[in-house]
Structure 1
């Protein structure tokens, strides 16, 4: 992953923004709503738990859109550009690029509509979702979707096992924090079942259902003794592909 997505342990990155409001400006709520609507209409829900009526949902949105899609858009940003924008501005950029790249709207049409609303900020917005889609959105907000699946085989590790975090090839999108690569830890919990991920990360190793472990790390093994408080533990949930026997 690029620099901006694993800042743990890096120095001189301040100042830290302690803003506690979820939405700082009103338009940010609409971006969150658009993202939620896209997830509630995502084609991947045909195989999700719980089941959703995707084959009868009256939508022209036929693509997969998940949290992984949103993160992939942000991770594709040039690092210095990434730090220029606020949180929901990054969302807006990723969502806009997705609709253009998928052919739902042309770049020229997108620019034209943006220019129109800049000049006419009080102009009516597009129609609200139909009743079936509204029902789907509400249900999705209440129930979400899970990558949990039955575990096809026995997990490779058990609670109490000492392990080392893998150091797989770097890819555009990963669920492995960079600061945990090659670090020693101990399995403290094996979650029931297996978990798939929304996208296949290729050489990174995740996508298909696999066991997930809760792993404990001594902070000193990660940050070094001089930068760690005594008796401090760090916990991470890791896919089995990221965990291996001690070397």
Structure 2
């Protein structure tokens, strides 16, 4: 079964509101702080991007549906800080001591932020094998959409695309496999493809039947059609 975050194509959630083009990036001042503290905590090196995504995905369904976007970020971050031993629950309640933290030397300084953001976190990696699929080839996504390494684990294959047939648009080379990386099982790089699906292969009644949806999918998500 999918987690509550896998909402693509689900009925009943209302229209997607992209907002006005001139709206501020952060609607409230604390939204910017939520992003900043998440990036700063990530710089401590105690988890990776896929672990961070998975922390937000596994929030309690009641919380996930009631929290705003940046509330989800803060809740996921709080879980990661405690799970990795960076902080304790007492620390989060403001009841910790004032001793110098063991990770203090890794703190991201304000003068280093621009360079850190410019470096980003590239996920492309060397790969010993050869891509199993070629551009133009028909492929089918696995069904159900699930992490085949960890029960209930993180995966980037959306549930709405499970079992659908599309064609390979291009191969992006090998990239870190999120299904392994989110669970401390190494980077396990494998080929990553852009796969194009007709709207009718994903939706029972597409508004525009001639539309196409392009998804970036790892090799282990696919099989020959």
Instruction: Name the TM-score class by shorter chain.
Output: 0.7 to 0.9
* Contact 1:199–1:207 (8 Å) recurs in 2: no
Superposed counterparts of 1:130-149, under 5 Å: 133-149=109-125
1:227 partner SS: coil
Q: Which has the larger radius of gyration?
A: 1
Shift of 1:102: 2.3
Match in the other structure for 1:209: 189
The equivalent position to 1:238 in structure 2, one of 217, 220, 223, is: 217
Q: Which moved more, 1:19-28 or 1:150-159?
A: 19-28
Match in the other structure for 2:6: 6
* Contact 2:3–2:57 (8 Å) recurs in 1: no
Match in the other structure for 2:56: 74
The equivalent position to 1:173 in structure 2, one of 148, 151, 154, is: 154
1:186 partner SS: strand
Shift of 1:105: 2.4
Cα distance in structure 2, aligned partners of 1:245 and 1:202: 27
Cα distance in structure 2, aligned partners of 1:189 and 1:12: 34
- Long gaps (5+) in structure 2: 97-103
TM-score w.r.t. the length of structure 2 is 0.80
Q: How many residues align?
A: 209
1:235 partner SS: strand
Superposed counterparts of 1:221-232, under 5 Å: 221-224=201-204, 226-232=205-211
* Contact 2:164–2:201 (8 Å) recurs in 1: yes
Cα deviation per residue 1:99-150 (whole Å; 9 max; x = unaligned)? 2222222212321359xxxxxxxxxxxxx99997445432220121212112
- Long gaps (5+) in structure 1: 43-62, 115-127
Relative to structure 1, is the Cα distance of residues 137 and 218 closer, same or farther in structure 2, using a 3 angstrom cutoff? same
> Is the aligned partner of 1:35 residue 2:38?
yes
Cα distance in structure 2, aligned partners of 1:137 and 1:163: 41
